[in-house]
């Protein structure tokens, strides 16, 4: 089956969905409300399940070349620099770290210019039988399908899922930045109530993130850079060097929210995708990966079925259980990693020190062990 789709949102999830649908022969338009389509200056990691999703739509090899291997999933430290767990060379290749802008640009380049319409804000979506009308700031268009990839604060989810809970603050906040520093390996440093994540990137850059418990959302600081430096005072190298190598005006600060589980990801001929469906805490590094899985399953479902409604039902049935579980696991991991309790911190560090390497590898493997459906390129 082929048809027309309007994708609302030009982020990583929306662009991946557009690539996947075009691969099966669909005509796609991506509506993005921002005048400039791009990503903020921070990083992310893609685990094997995300890379498998990109392989399924024919772009995995090109994307891999933009990433750097990171040991952050297996190298855990205390602020003093003592190891709780050491990364193993045989696993270094499993997780790749990317600058968000690099990844976004690569996905954007897989699409023709006329497939993306920036500066186009969606105002209403109405299902009319087997068609969907999308009213937006530049007029209106109809399609066989609308994919809402418009993020955690999805306007489409707000209109068509009126009973869905609002995004929920998860009692912690994160500072992020990109440092110009070479020769750094990936790691996670765990302190009582906070953590510091390091991912090496290509081009002599490093992505770092400081997560910390917060009593309420919206707490800002006159000098965010100084606040980060204060919080990691006397922590091990290369943390001070990373902060010194980050531009003072490039310290990003965001509170962490996620979504409570939705009862469905489909309403008529409108499907939620990525953060619009299952925004999750960043603690398992699966936000982008789950959006990529969504895109592949959606395309495969549409390719396999002669009916859009049946295909969307299949998409919903396949994606909700897995994405809900991963979102719940990420929420739990974030709560533990940023807990102020000395008992919780002590139990976590003891568990990491005593955990056999095979057990740690198995936990990651269960998360990453996802086989994508086949998505055959249209003739």
58: in domain: yes
Instruction: Mark residue 285 as left, alpha or beta (left: phi above 0; alpha: psi -120 to 50; beta: remaining).
Output: left
The pLDDT assigned to 362 comes to 64
- 3-class secondary structure per residue, the chain: CCCEEEEECCCHHHHHHHHHHHHCCCEEEEECCCCCCCCCCCEEEECHHHHHHHHHCCCHHHHHCCCEECCCCCCEECCCCCEEECCCHHHCCCCEEEEHHHHHHHHHCCCCHHHEECCCCEEEEEEECCEEEEEECCEEEEECEEEECCCCCCHHHHHHCCCCCCCEEEEEEEEEEEEECCCCCCEEEEECCEEEEEEEECCCEEEEEEEEECCCCCCCCCCHHHHHHHHCCCCCCCHHHHHHCECHHHCEEEEEEECCCCCCCEECCEEECCHHHHCCCHHHCCHHHHHHHHHHHHHHHHHHCCCHHHHHHHHHHHHHHHHHHHHHHHHHHHHHHCCCCHHHHHHHHHHHHHCCHHHHHHHHHHHHCCCCCCCCCCC
What phi and psi, each to the nearest 5 degrees, are found at residue 195? -150, 160
Q: Tell me, what CATH number does 22's domain have?
A: 3.50.50.60
130: in domain: yes
The pLDDT assigned to 92 comes to 45
248: in domain: no
What phi and psi, each to the nearest 5 degrees, are found at residue 336? -70, -45
Q: Give me the number of domains the chain comprises.
A: 1
pLDDT tens-place string over residues 37-70: 777 669 999 999 999 999 999 999 999 999 999 9
Sheet with 68-69, edge to edge strand ranges: 43-46, 96-99, 68-69
Query: 296 near 53, Cβ under 8 Å?
Result: yes
13: in domain: yes
What is the span of the domain harbouring residue 90? 4-168+258-368
Where b means 16+ CB within 10 Å and e means fewer, 66-79 reads bbbbbbbbbbbbbb
β 252-258/168-180 pair status: antiparallel
- Cβ-Cβ contacts under 8 Å for 158 (sequence gap 6 or more): 164
Task: Identify the bridge partners of residue 98 per DSSP, sorted by sequence position.
Answer: 44
163: in domain: yes
Query: 150 near 129, Cβ under 8 Å?
Result: no
Query: 149 near 7, Cβ under 8 Å?
Result: yes
The residue behind tokens 């920036």 is: 118
Instruction: Mark residue 216 as left, alpha or beta (left: phi above 0; alpha: psi -120 to 50; beta: remaining).
Output: beta
60: in domain: yes
- Cβ-Cβ contacts under 8 Å for 203 (sequence gap 6 or more): 99
Give the whole-angstrom CA distance, residue 179 versus residue 250: 9
Q: Would you give per-residue pLDDT tens digits along the chain (379 residues)? A: 799 999 999 999 999 999 999 999 999 999 999 987 777 669 999 999 999 999 999 999 999 999 999 999 889 999 999 999 987 655 545 799 999 999 999 999 999 999 999 999 999 999 989 999 999 999 999 999 999 999 999 999 999 999 999 999 999 999 999 999 999 999 999 999 999 999 999 999 999 999 999 999 999 999 999 999 999 999 999 999 999 999 999 999 999 999 999 999 999 999 999 999 999 999 999 999 999 999 999 999 999 998 999 999 999 999 999 999 999 999 999 999 999 999 999 999 999 998 876 666 667 778 999 999 999 999 8
Task: Identify the bridge partners of residue 117 per DSSP, sorted by sequence position.
Answer: 31
Give the whole-angstrom CA distance, residue 47 versus residue 290: 10
156: in domain: yes
């Amino acid at each position: 089956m082929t048809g027309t789709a309007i994708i609302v949102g030009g982020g990583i999830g929306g662009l991946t969905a557009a690539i996947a649908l075009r691969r099966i022969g669909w005509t796609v338009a991506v509506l993005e409300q921002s005048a400039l389509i791009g990503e903020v200056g921070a990083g992310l990691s893609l685990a094997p399940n995300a890379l498998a999703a990109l392989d399924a739509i024919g772009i995995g090899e090109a994307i891999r070349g933009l990433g750097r291997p990171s040991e952050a999933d297996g190298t855990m430290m205390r602020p003093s620099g003592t190891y709780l767990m050491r990364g193993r060379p045989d696993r270094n290749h499993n997780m790749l770290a990317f600058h968000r802008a690099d990844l976004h640009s690569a996905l954007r380049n897989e699409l023709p210019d006329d497939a993306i319409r920036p500066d186009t804000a969606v105002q209403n979506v109405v299902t009319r039988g087997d068609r969907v009308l999308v009213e937006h700031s530049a007029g209106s268009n109809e399609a066989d399908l609308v994919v809402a990839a418009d993020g955690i604060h999805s306007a489409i989810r707000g209109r068509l899922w009126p009973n869905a809970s609002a995004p929920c603050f998860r009692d912690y906040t994160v500072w992020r930045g990109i440092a110009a520093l070479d020769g750094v390996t990936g790691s996670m440093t765990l302190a009582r109530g906070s953590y510091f994540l390091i991912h090496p990137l290509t081009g002599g850059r490093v992505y770092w993130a400081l997560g910390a418990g917060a009593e309420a959302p919206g707490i800002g600081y006159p000098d965010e850079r100084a606040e980060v430096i204060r919080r990691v005072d006397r922590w091990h190298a290369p943390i001070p060097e990373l902060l010194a190598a980050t531009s003072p005006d490039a310290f990003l600060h965001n509170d962490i929210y996620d979504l409570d589980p939705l009862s469905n990801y489909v309403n008529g001929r409108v499907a939620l995708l990525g953060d619009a469906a299952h925004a999750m805490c960043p603690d398992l590094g699966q936000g982008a990966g789950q959006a990529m899985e969504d895109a592949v399953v959606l395309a495969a479902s549409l390719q396999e079925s002669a009916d859009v409604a049946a295909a969307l039902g299949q998409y919903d049935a396949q994606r909700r259980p897995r994405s809900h579980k991963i979102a719940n696991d990420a929420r739990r991991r974030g709560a533990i990693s940023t807990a102020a309790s000395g008992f919780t911190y002590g139990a976590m560090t003891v568990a990491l020190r005593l955990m056999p390497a095979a057990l740690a590898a198995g936990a990651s493997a269960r998360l990453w062990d996802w086989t994508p459906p086949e998505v055959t390129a249209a003739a």
